[in-house]
Amino acid sequence: MASCKYDWPPPGERSLIGKRIKRLDGPEKASGRAKYTYDINPSGLLFAKIYRSPCAHAKITGIDTSEAEKMPGVKTVLAVMGVGDETHWVGDEIVCVAAESEEIATDALSKIKVQFQELPFFVNEENLDQAGDHAKPASTKTKGDASKAFSDPDVVTSEGYYGIAAITHCCLEAHGNVAQWTGNNLLTHSSTQNVPGLPSQFGDSLRKQGVDVSDKNVETICNYIGGGFGSKFGTDEWGIHVAQLAHKAGRPVKLMLERDMELEGAGARPSAFANIKVAAQKDGTLVAWDSKSWGSGGFPGAGMPPLPYVLTGIPNITTQHTSISTNAGPARAWRAPDHPQAAALTLCALDDLAAKLNMDPIEFLSKNADLSARGNVYREEMKIGAQLSDWQKNWHPRGDKTSGTVKRGMGVSIHTWGGAGHPSSCGVNIYPDGSVEVNMGSQDLGTGTRTVIGIVAAETFGLPLEAVKVNIGDSKYPADSASGGSTTVGGVSASTRRGSVDARDQLFEVVAPSLGVKPEQLVAVGGYIQAKDDPSKKLSWKEACAKLQVKPIQALGRNLPRGMSPCKLNDSGVGGCTIADVSVDTETGLIKINKMVAVQDCGLIIDLKTAESQCYGALIMGVTYALFEEKIMDRITGRMLNNNMEFYKLAGIGDVGDLVVHMMTGPGYDERGTIGLGEPPVISPGAAISNAVANAIGVRVPTIPLTPDKVLAALEKGGMA
């Protein structure tokens, strides 16, 4: 491959890239000084609340807001639905109120009177038979001749029912915005994964509501966001409403969702259920797959797990998926959309087949790994995972045969993700006083984006990280893209590298004459600009920048779409594996996590510390959805029964066991450039834990979350109880 001036520095010349570096905004966050949207309190602020539908499906027959409007302290009332409109889930927005205090806004809601004509609804999609008109065929796939392959007398076939419940995003900072108008200019503080995209979304939607504003007059700021996980890409209806309320009231307005609405309506990960049949030859070679799957992401239905997952090269395949619309809050992208469900369905079904074949599942997956896009990566990763989890010592054929009521088991799963860098632009400024500024209309979800940008710039300039000022979180800066699908690190690292190299080369041009060398002979290293071959010819960074006199350097770097540049700064496509070690109390059904191991590749790692944190976090989120999380809908009332954090359980610090993370780095990985990491490690824990439980108790608990009642029910059916 032709070399390119933007290429990453070779391994021996990296002073920051790939090291464990503390996140740039750590002190601001740890000291409580970081200002999130929820913390923005401009003077004259009004507080908004929303009157929501209490019915899962109903037609509005009357709305009376007059009493609320007359209340002292209520500034603006905005009905966003009218008589004749239909609500489709509990929590649908009907009337918004802005008042002088949260308390007055809450009181005002109780004065609003809405009449409903209730309509039939459906909320329990696991019961496919009862879905009726709510179920729609979504896709079918056929490859080879599955029915012929299954009828071969020499194959071993395993059949089972598998599933994974709908869960919520449960961002700790609820969705919301603070909207402020100055004339025709709108400033929003928004809890968003999409700083550069929001102004045009606000502009579009507000113009449709008759508000006179152009996109260029909208500025969105999000310096810190308290969790997104795929649920915060848009203004949302409530974002438009708060801008309308602020416009009407002539005062800034804050609207953050209440916790019940955050869980009911601000995003769900679709459920997935499937009857799966899978067959292999007696030596473990996979030959056939058949799945009939269904699931729902609420209203109006979404989600379709890619089946079979990872091992897509199985020669004979039939699949059929049904999408169900329920009267629950709409689905949104949830960290690795559709993949955790696909892993839970596929890797559990394959694990049951391996058990039937009396094979170690790592041996079984390794044997079939070439049915995936990266067999060698998976084999290498599972080998490392096995070592880190003491697999050889702790794994046993299905069913822990030791005495005692607590059974121990091991499980494995593998996963894949793309993670190509998104379009990104980056402004890099070098000032005559030696200061360096990197400006980008991006956002840091807590993944370490701010730190990655700083490291790439500092590395390029040969400066310490502290010497670079990173400004993100404001749409006025050169536009990056939304942070979703693990596309951010590839995008921002490439645009920052390109902008920084261009800025550095401009500085070389300026200082070369005074050092008596050609610009291309210069390097920036260790705080100096010096001649490559004669380090005695050098200027300190500050001295070099002083040569700029009064004219700062301003460069703009862009991450070009793949194929448009000879530089190999980023790539896509990763594999990873997760191993779970669990103990199951067969008397109570309680599962205890002993240890979780994640082995993950993501190309070139910019900051090893925050990369590892992503994987630790993914393991913990994985434990949470494997054991606790479920959006429980009441079929009688259509309401979410656990719309609070008391009953919508998140794992606590004592629930997660020992955590081990191994990042694949070095030759074979580094030279691919940067690849996204946010999604992949969260995909496998559900399947790995379910498989470990099956290995412990000798029977499959069919659906995730693996709650004690389900464990006991599975044991009753035929486990080791």
Residues in 581-620 at the binding interface with another protein, rule: CB under 8 A:
609-610, 612-614, 616-620
- φ, ψ of residue 530 to 5 degrees: the values are -140, 160
Closest CA to 324 of 355, 291, 300: 300
Distance between CA atoms of 480 and 491, rounded to whole angstroms? 8
Q: Which is nearer to another protein, 28 or 543 (CB)?
A: 28
- Residues in 8-47 that interact with another protein by CB under 8 A: 22-23, 25-36, 38-39, 41, 47
User: What is the smallest separation between the CB atom of 621 and another protein, expressed in angstroms?
Assistant: 5
405: burial class by Cβ within 10 Å (0-12, 13-18, 19+)? exposed
Q: Which is nearer to another protein, 343 or 623 (CB)?
A: 623
User: What is the smallest separation between the CB atom of 257 and another protein, expressed in angstroms?
Assistant: 11
Peptide bond into 513 cis (omega under 30): no
Tokens 């979410």 map to which residue?
640
Burial 533-571 (b: 16+ CB within 10 A, else e): eeeebbbebeebbebbeeeebbbebbbbeeeeeebbbbb
The answer to whether residue 71 forms part of the interface with another protein (CB under 8 A) is: no
From 111-119, 290-298, 411-419, 707-715, span contacting another protein (CB under 8 A): 111-119
Q: Which is nearer to another protein, 560 or 650 (CB)?
A: 650
Q: Which is nearer to another protein, 57 or 639 (CB)?
A: 639
The answer to whether residue 238 forms part of the interface with another protein (CB under 8 A) is: no
Q: Which is nearer to another protein, 375 or 681 (CB)?
A: 681
The radius of gyration of the chain from alpha carbons, rounded to an integer in Å, stands at: 28
User: What is the smallest separation between the CB atom of 31 and another protein, expressed in angstroms?
Assistant: 5
Tokens 């009407």 map to which residue?
248
Three-state DSSP state, 275: strand
User: What is the smallest separation between the CB atom of 264 and another protein, expressed in angstroms?
Assistant: 8
User: What is the smallest separation between the CB atom of 157 and another protein, expressed in angstroms?
Assistant: 38
One-letter amino acid of 187: L
User: What is the smallest separation between the CB atom of 701 and another protein, expressed in angstroms?
Assistant: 23
Q: Which residues contact 33 (CB under 8 A, 6 or more apart)?
A: 27
CA-based end-to-end distance of the chain: 60
680: burial class by Cβ within 10 Å (0-12, 13-18, 19+)? buried
**Residue selected from 66, 110, 147, 151 as contacting another protein according to rule CB under 8 A:** 110
The answer to whether residue 3 forms part of the interface with another protein (CB under 8 A) is: no
The answer to whether residue 125 forms part of the interface with another protein (CB under 8 A) is: no
Contact between 425 and 558 under an 8 Å Cβ cutoff? The reply is yes
- Residues in 248-267 that interact with another protein by CB under 8 A: 256, 258-260
Q: Which is nearer to another protein, 22 or 216 (CB)?
A: 22
**Residue selected from 66, 101, 140, 142 as contacting another protein according to rule CB under 8 A:** 101
The answer to whether residue 113 forms part of the interface with another protein (CB under 8 A) is: yes
From 114-122, 238-246, 274-282, 464-472, span contacting another protein (CB under 8 A): 114-122
Q: Compute how many residues bind another protein; rule: CB under 8 A.
A: 80
Contact between 267 and 169 under an 8 Å Cβ cutoff? The reply is yes
Distance between CA atoms of 563 and 560, rounded to whole angstroms? 8
User: What is the smallest separation between the CB atom of 221 and another protein, expressed in angstroms?
Assistant: 15
Distance between CA atoms of 129 and 322, rounded to whole angstroms? 12
**Residue selected from 61, 147, 358, 376 as contacting another protein according to rule CB under 8 A:** 61
- φ, ψ of residue 87 to 5 degrees: the values are -100, 145
The token duo for 544 is 């070099």
User: What is the smallest separation between the CB atom of 715 and another protein, expressed in angstroms?
Assistant: 28
Q: Which is nearer to another protein, 424 or 610 (CB)?
A: 610
x/- binding map, residues 131-170, to another protein, per CB under 8 A? ---------------------------------------x
**Residue selected from 5, 120, 161, 172 as contacting another protein according to rule CB under 8 A:** 172
The distance from CA 225 to its chain's CA centroid, rounded to whole angstroms, is 13
Length of the chain: 721
Distance between CA atoms of 76 and 244, rounded to whole angstroms? 10
Distance between CA atoms of 66 and 280, rounded to whole angstroms? 69
8-state DSSP, 378: H
**Residue selected from 15, 81, 85, 116 as contacting another protein according to rule CB under 8 A:** 116
The answer to whether residue 333 forms part of the interface with another protein (CB under 8 A) is: no
- Residues in 438-467 that interact with another protein by CB under 8 A: 445-447
User: What is the smallest separation between the CB atom of 222 and another protein, expressed in angstroms?
Assistant: 12
The answer to whether residue 388 forms part of the interface with another protein (CB under 8 A) is: no
Distance between CA atoms of 285 and 369, rounded to whole angstroms? 10
Q: Which is nearer to another protein, 504 or 631 (CB)?
A: 631
- φ, ψ of residue 364 to 5 degrees: the values are -65, -45
The token duo for 319 is 């699949």
User: What is the smallest separation between the CB atom of 28 and another protein, expressed in angstroms?
Assistant: 5
The answer to whether residue 686 forms part of the interface with another protein (CB under 8 A) is: no
User: What is the smallest separation between the CB atom of 71 and another protein, expressed in angstroms?
Assistant: 13
From 98-106, 324-332, 384-392, 516-524, span contacting another protein (CB under 8 A): 98-106
**Residue selected from 56, 74, 77, 114 as contacting another protein according to rule CB under 8 A:** 114
Q: Which is nearer to another protein, 91 or 252 (CB)?
A: 91
Distance between CA atoms of 457 and 498, rounded to whole angstroms? 9
Q: Which is nearer to another protein, 112 or 310 (CB)?
A: 112
User: What is the smallest separation between the CB atom of 673 and another protein, expressed in angstroms?
Assistant: 24
Q: Which is nearer to another protein, 229 or 294 (CB)?
A: 229
Contact between 18 and 8 under an 8 Å Cβ cutoff? The reply is no
**Residue selected from 6, 8, 51, 395 as contacting another protein according to rule CB under 8 A:** 51
- Residues in 196-225 that interact with another protein by CB under 8 A: 224-225
The four Cα atoms 278, 280, 285, 287 give a dihedral, to 10 degrees, of: -60
The distance from CA 374 to its chain's CA centroid, rounded to whole angstroms, is 23
User: What is the smallest separation between the CB atom of 56 and another protein, expressed in angstroms?
Assistant: 11
- Residues in 633-672 that interact with another protein by CB under 8 A: 639, 643-646, 650-654, 656, 659
**Residue selected from 69, 86, 102, 505 as contacting another protein according to rule CB under 8 A:** 102
Peptide bond into 300 cis (omega under 30): yes
The token duo for 97 is 């109120």
| Helix (H) or strand (E) segment spanning residue 340 | helix 339-356
One-letter amino acid of 719: G
Q: Which residues contact 108 (CB under 8 A, 6 or more apart)?
A: 49, 68, 71, 74, 77, 97, 99
Which residues are bridge partners to 524 per DSSP?
529
One-letter amino acid of 582: V
**Residue selected from 54, 144, 434, 708 as contacting another protein according to rule CB under 8 A:** 54
Which residues are bridge partners to 118 per DSSP?
58
**Residue selected from 56, 90, 96, 689 as contacting another protein according to rule CB under 8 A:** 90
Distance between CA atoms of 210 and 24, rounded to whole angstroms? 42
Which residues are bridge partners to 479 per DSSP?
441
8-state DSSP, 45: -
User: What is the smallest separation between the CB atom of 642 and another protein, expressed in angstroms?
Assistant: 10
**Residue selected from 149, 165, 171, 243 as contacting another protein according to rule CB under 8 A:** 171
